[in-house]
Amino acid sequence: MQKKDKSQTFSALRKKHPFFIYENFVIERNSQHLILKFLFNLSDDYHFSPVIKIPVSANRNFDITQPAFQNLVFHLGMAELISYWKVACSPRVIIRAGVLDKKQVAWWTKLWFMGLGEFLYTNGIQTSKEELLKIEIETDRNYEVFDFEMSKKILVPIGGGKDSVVTLELLKAGGFDVLPFILNPRGASIGTVLSAGFERSEFFEMHRTISPRLIELNSKGYLNGHTPFSALLGFVTLVAAWISGIQHIALSNESSANEPTIPGTNINHQYSKSYEFEHDFRAYVTEFISPDFNYFSFLRPLNELQIGKLFSEFPNHFKSFKSCNVGSKTNVWCGKCPKCLFTWIILSPFLTQEKLISIFGANILDDKKLWHTLDELTGVAAEKPFECVGTVGEVRAALNMLLQNQEEKHIPALLEIYKNQNLLTNIPANQLLKQFDKNNYLKPDFEQIVKKALK
């Protein structure tokens, strides 16, 4: 990704907008939706009111003023405000919607700094965690830790890519009662649920709306960039699980998400999908929200090569899944981005070329314009793409497997380039396919399902 030098803009905006306030949140209910509105204030110059709507069909009847729900919504607002704070990176963040103690402040400060590592890097901003922001509390509004009654269902967030397909199908096959969850439903995510045999009415949905003022400021030259979306999703799923009376929240983040995007640094596009964040999030939720939630990644023991192999066993999803961010709005594979190339590569050892072309619409591995992207994925370039892609070792292993299985006379252009580079892998593909990362939070019954699938 091309870096920009926004360091002067960063300094100027911090002087112009020295504080950012989380004023409050509002919970309303009408005949159609449960509505969560967050009130943010950028130095009394601009105000933001992002909204999350939950269709009434997903609501169980409960008192929206009860302390447990207030706690959940307050914390969701804390995650939401990062996207709005980043437009000016105000040095002071004032919280008036609820109390945070010193330990909580330290937790959020770490999330801010680590989760915005890509944002700071790509904007050419050099700062420390201590310099980036100071969180100040201006309220005595406390939220107590709570207990709640839970069903045996499992909430599974669905993004529309191959990973959530594998989680959904394996848990279903394991005999668990699963409730798919979708934030802002789109073609691929709905298609995943339908292809897995659920009805259109059998998933929990939420609709998140970005404040128009944020888009307006971005167009005026304010700061923009990647934020830790998966951290926001974590707090969103807590709300959905509590409303549904569900304990288990099964994410689909794999061990590969732990690898930094910039080698030798802590800058990771997937920080809020990493094991480190999962560990921190679980500890925070237990201590400050409720010990009854079990937020974990079902695919954490696995790498991308293993997930690609498992996904290849679910042909009913081949037409509906999409992992392309560029084409997400129109529900297509663009065929030109790192996600498209990576997904093709990681599936290529397990699906025929004809099958892959039927999925993607063209032979992406034959597009020489993606040469630089290939170099980023295979570690030839100085940094990986700022996308949710596998490790350098996994990509090389997949390409090596493809070369070994290549029977056609015509070798795709990018595979020919890779072949001539003679790149080695630290771990052979057959070893990668047998790995089981012990750094995970799977309970024994979940672990058995994953191990059985690998066999």
* DSSP one-letter string for 268-321: -TTGGGSHHHHHHHHHHHHHHT-TT-EEEETTTT--HHHHHHHHTT-GGGTTT-
Helices first, then strands: H and E counts in the chain: 18, 11
Please classify residue 293 by burial: count the beta carbons closer than 10 Å to its beta carbon, then call 0-12 exposed, 13-18 middle and 19+ buried: buried
User: Residue 431 contacts by C-beta under 8 Å, 6 or more apart in sequence?
Assistant: none
Domain coordinates in residue numbering, the chain: 7-148+203-297, 304-435
**One-letter amino acid of 234:** G
Pick from 72-81, 146-155, 233-242, 335-344: least confident: 146-155
Mean pLDDT value across residues 132-156: 95
Cα-based distances in Å from 339 to 12, 52, 125, 342, 356? 35, 28, 26, 5, 14
pLDDT for residue 36: 98
Asked if residues 40 and 84 have their Cβ atoms less than 8 Å apart, the reply is yes
Mean pLDDT value across residues 413-427: 86
pLDDT for residue 3: 79
Give the residue carrying structure tokens 């009654």.
149
pLDDT for residue 198: 95
Asked if residues 378 and 423 have their Cβ atoms less than 8 Å apart, the reply is yes
pLDDT at 49 over 90: yes
Pick from 108-117, 235-244, 413-422: least confident: 413-422
Asked if residues 261 and 217 have their Cβ atoms less than 8 Å apart, the reply is no
Q: Strand locations in 202-277, DSSP E?
A: 204-209, 246-251
pLDDT for residue 186: 94
**Residue 114: which of 222, 284, 266, 243 has the closest Cα?**
266
d(CA 346, CA 395): 7
pLDDT for residue 408: 61
pLDDT above 70 coverage of the chain, percent:
98
pLDDT for residue 407: 64
Residue 178 has φ and ψ, to the nearest 5°, of -110, 135
d(CA 296, CA 276): 12
Mean pLDDT value across residues 302-309: 98
Give the residue carrying structure tokens 């298609």.
191
Q: Which residue has the higher pLDDT, 4 or 116?
A: 116
d(CA 72, CA 66): 10
Give the residue carrying structure tokens 């339908």.
194
pLDDT for residue 425: 75
pLDDT at 58 over 80: no
Asked if residues 34 and 56 have their Cβ atoms less than 8 Å apart, the reply is yes
pLDDT at 296 over 70: yes
d(CA 179, CA 155): 5
pLDDT at 199 over 80: yes
Cα angle: 12, vertex 14, 19; to 5 degrees: 150
pLDDT for residue 101: 98
Mean pLDDT of all residues in the chain? 95
Global pTM reads: 0.96
pLDDT for residue 251: 98
pLDDT band at 370 (very low <50, low <70, confident <90, very high): very high
- Helix H or strand E encompassing 67: helix 67-85
d(CA 315, CA 310): 11
pLDDT for residue 60: 65
CA 449 and chain centroid, separation: 23
DSSP state at residue 135: E
d(CA 386, CA 322): 18
pLDDT for residue 57: 72
Reduced to 3 states (helix: H, G, I; strand: E, B; else coil), residue 226 is: coil
Strands 178-183 and 246-251: unpaired
Asked if residues 180 and 306 have their Cβ atoms less than 8 Å apart, the reply is no
